[in-house]
Amino acid sequence: MTSNRDGKNQMKIFASRRTDAVKIIPVKKIGFKKWTDAQPVYVKKWIKTVGFDGAAGNTCLIPNNDGSLGKVLWGVSDIPNIWDSGSLARGLPHGTYTFEGFNDAKTSTLAALGWGLGAYRFDKYKNPLTLKTRLQWPSACDRKIVEQTLEAIFLVRDLINTPAEDMGPSELEKAARTLANKFQAKIRVIKGKQLLAKNYPAIHAIGRASDDEPRLLDLTWGKPTHPKVTLIGKGVCFDTGGLDIKPASGMKLMKKDMGGAAHVLGLASMLMSSHSKVRLRVLIPAVENNIAGNAIRPLDIIRTRNGKTIEIGHTDAEGRVILADA
């Protein structure tokens, strides 16, 4: 399993089965004392020395007699989840690991997924931090689900983490086209003055102050006879607040205001990669809420696609305006 950033950095997360993998032994806080009492004396002493009590998410490295890493005790919750294993990929020493005692598909799949999610790093703008650990695929886990889920979530994270300089409406359109091409989906894009001609006036009004034209991304996939699933995601690629400008502290993280769009693309990726029997439609109004002479003003009245009008009480309420058209 790899994470592909712009087709470049390939980050290996999982490994084929190997006999020299270090065992990760799941333990629970309740009943941990009883488990410890059954261990060799040196293991009991070591656990007491480091103060490990089996709490969920925590680990205890158990050395061999020669000082090498023998095994890892790993605290898990009573109910299987992805969070307990989330810190393992980046927190354990260099090596290949294997989960011991996971014989059911649900527990194995969640543990592998948590490991994979924890391996993520956004390294597009710097030298990659090499992942020094690998996890052997658990024999009972649903490998396909893990791979499809990681691919989708990594896409979401990469899109949101990319700065607005490289993730405006044009780049968001490119990401949607790339996804559509991968799964042979259809995509239609209406942008700039075409939005007015096609009756999407609210999307145009919010995005017209940006040099990167506003647009509506419309992706469809699946057989028309299948149940309809429509996903709509807010694609405000940067939000200055408009003429009612945000303070610096409020504007700092506004590259993430297109997170809704990123999430619907990620969910679409999962639905298409799993060959879900749905008629999928993804609608993303992609804009920048910018400042210029033609920006919307407080108390402007904007028409929407269905004919209703919106009085702009505050130019920083742009998301609900573009979603009204979508």
Contact present, 70 and 64 (Cβ < 8 Å): yes
Residue 109 lies in a domain: yes
Whether residue 13 sits in one domain with residue 128: yes
- What letter does residue 82 receive in the DSSP assignment? S
For the chain, give the mean pLDDT: 94
Quick check: is 149 in a domain? Answer: no
Active site residue 320: yes
pLDDT number for residue 157: 98
N- to C-terminal Cα separation, the chain: 36
**pLDDT, tens digit, for every residue of 162-209?**
999 999 999 999 999 999 999 999 999 999 999 999 999 999 999 999
pLDDT at 192: 98
Do residues 306 and 321 make contact, with C-beta atoms less than 8 angstroms apart? no
Do 170 and 296 fall into the same domain?
yes
- pLDDT at site 19: 76
Which entry of 12, 17, 252, 320 is annotated as an active-site residue? 320
Quote the CA–CA distance of 79 and 75 in Å, as a whole number: 12
**pLDDT (tens digit, 9 = 90+) per residue, 189-202?**
999 999 999 999 99
Q: What integer is the mean pLDDT of 20-30?
A: 95
pTM of the model: 0.93
Note if 215 is an active site residue.
no
Residue 147 in any domain: the answer is no
Q: Residue 30: which of 53, 63, 48, 10 has the closest Cα?
A: 53
Residue tagged 């205890």 (tokens): 60
- 128 and 203 co-located in one domain: no
pLDDT at 10 over 80: no
Catalytic residue among 124, 143, 246, 279: 246
Count of structural domains, the chain: 2
CB of 237 closer than 8 Å to CB of 258: yes
What CATH number does residue 105 fall under? 3.40.220.10
